């Protein structure tokens, strides 16, 4: 995943002006929090809604897979769903751990009431991997596509990124480039462009 613009501004000031704001809304600094709250996030690409949907899908897949192994208490689905790691509304810290591909201790402790650890890991590992792949494809990849397009509009190339600040002149940030917002493109155009970019491998 690409670093946020605020991180790049700290690391490569010769390329990323401190005056530049979020490439999408051009109103706020682009940090990790803003990636989830940007007012110009397209409804179809809203990372919060996508994250919630994928957490629910992951949770339900776990319930289905574990329930298929043996007969479980009728309360198993409800108790499993009530675990803190599925709290995507807040979201809870353990839900964020899952998002980072880390299994919360209380999740494995709950499952150990029914299955040995070897079975738990065998079942949940591929499901967790699928969860991560979907998050990358539906959230991070789209954000990366947006950001690469914005970098190109600022005249930032792969070659310029490889140069150090000591070998880059002060005029690297062209006065003709400014923090133009991606918010001027129509929604249909963005969705079509993103889809075609992903099909082409982001090229």
157: in domain: no
pLDDT in tens, 4-31: 788 888 888 888 888 888 887 888 888 8
Q: What is the spatial distance between Cα 20 and Cα 37, in angstroms, rounded to a whole number? A: 18
Tell whether 140 is covered by a domain. Answer: no
For 167-197, write each residue's pLDDT tens digit: 544 444 444 444 444 444 444 443 444 344 4
Is residue 173, in this structure, part of any structural domain at all?
Answer: no
With a pLDDT cut of 90, the percent of the chain lying above it is 32
Does residue 54 fall inside a structural domain?
A: yes
Give the integer Cα–Cα distance in Å for 160 and 150.
Answer: 15
What are the DSSP calls for 107-150, one per residue? HHHHHTTTS-HHHHHHHHHHHHHHHHHHHIIIIIHHHHHHHHHH
Q: What was the pLDDT predicted at 125?
A: 95
In a domain, 160, yes or no: no
Residue 10 resides in a domain? no
The model's pTM is: 0.58
Domain count, the chain: 1
> What residue numbers bound the domain in which 81 lies?
48-128
DSSP 20-64: ---TTTSSS---HHHHHH-TT--GGG-HHHHHHHHHHHHHHHHHH
Q: Are 85 and 92 in contact (CB under 8 A)?
A: yes
């Amino acid at each position: 995943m690409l670093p946020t613009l605020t991180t790049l501004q700290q690391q490569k000031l010769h390329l990323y002006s401190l005056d530049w704001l979020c490439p999408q809304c051009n109103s706020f600094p682009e940090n990790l929090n803003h990636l989830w709250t940007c007012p110009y996030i397209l409804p179809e690409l809203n990372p919060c809604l996508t994250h919630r949907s994928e957490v629910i899908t992951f949770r339900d897949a776990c319930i289905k897979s574990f329930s298929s192994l043996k007969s479980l208490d009728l309360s198993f689905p409800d108790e499993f769903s009530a675990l803190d790691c599925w709290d995507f509304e807040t979201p809870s810290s353990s839900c964020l751990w899952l998002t980072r591909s880390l299994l919360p201790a209380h999740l494995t402790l709950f499952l150990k009431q029914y299955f040995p650890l070897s079975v738990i890991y065998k079942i949940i590992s591929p499901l967790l991997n699928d969860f991560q792949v979907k998050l990358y494809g539906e959230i991070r990849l789209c954000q990366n596509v947006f950001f690469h397009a914005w970098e190109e509009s600022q005249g930032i190339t792969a070659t310029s990124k490889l140069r150090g600040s000591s070998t880059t002149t002060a005029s690297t940030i062209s006065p003709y480039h400014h923090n133009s917002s991606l918010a001027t493109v129509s929604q249909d155009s963005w969705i079509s462009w993103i889809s075609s970019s992903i099909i082409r491998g982001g090229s």
